[in-house]
Chains A and B, each alone.
Chain A
Amino acid sequence: QVQLVESGGGLVKPGGSLRLSCVVSGFTFSDYYMSWIRQAPGKGLEWVSSISSSGTYIWYADSVKGRFTISRDNANNSLYLRMNSLRAGDTALYYCARGKSYAPGSYNYWGQGTLVTVSS
């Protein structure tokens, strides 16, 4: 069955960096767009970034542009999010999600999330 498993979250000081990973199984990873979505504690969902199936096309929310970098390794069924210059407002549960084969699309598969806490 389809599985997405995030890792890499943790406690980091403001200005610090983290790299999140999402390892997938149960489908042909290289066929699908992938995305990161986050949810601050007690808040709603916020789209963060998306990447095309080949990695050619990338999109970011304005709130993370210039600080976060999305990437993927199709050989290893892995999606990444490099987060630099972290701020308290980046504290959230970060989900990876599968889009469509031809577009970032709606997300019919999600991981369980990895928690990022930015605090001194």
Chain B
Amino acid sequence: EIVLTQSPGTLSLSPGERATLSCRASQSISSSYLAWYQQKFGQAPRLLIYDASSRATGIPDRFSGSGSGTDFTLTVSRLEPEDFAVYYCQMYGTSPYTFGQGTKLEI
């Protein structure tokens, strides 16, 4: 089973700053089948990035994903107030399709 470890657990930044979130896999993820989600309190998760670097429909271009193999990164280039939330990575190459434990992005 592939374990996804996200870091940091909490990231404290201000609007306008750049955020870099990390997701490290315990084994290489095939075909870069890795996604990033944003979840705000009381809401269902929202897909941001799929296949490691493809933005989902309607996602602003300040969100970008990169990486391959075991190391993946979600970057938010200039934080907007609405970006403060919890972010999860997830792999979906082979079962089990595990999620990381999440990174809380706070002001």
Listed in ascending order, the chain A residues whose CB lies under 8 Å from chain B are 35, 37, 44-47, 50, 59, 61-62, 95, 99, 103-108, 110-113
Contact = CB atoms under 8 A, between A and B. Distances in A.
Contacts of B100: 44
B90 A61 contact: no
A56 B10 CA distance: 40
Interface string B61-97: 0000000000000000000000000001010100111
Given A44-B100, A45-B37, A95-B44, 7 more contacts: A47-B99, A50-B95, A103-B33, A103-B92, A106-B47, A108-B56, A110-B46
Contact of A47 (B33, B47, B51, B96): B96
Contact of A111 (B44, B47, B50): B44
A74 B57 CA distance: 26
Contacts, number: 60
11 contacts: A44-B102, A45-B37, A46-B99, A47-B97, A59-B95, A105-B33, A105-B92, A106-B50, A108-B50, A110-B45, A111-B44
B7 interface: no
A112 B45 CA distance: 9
Nearest to A59: B95
Interface string B14-46: 000000000000000000010101010000111
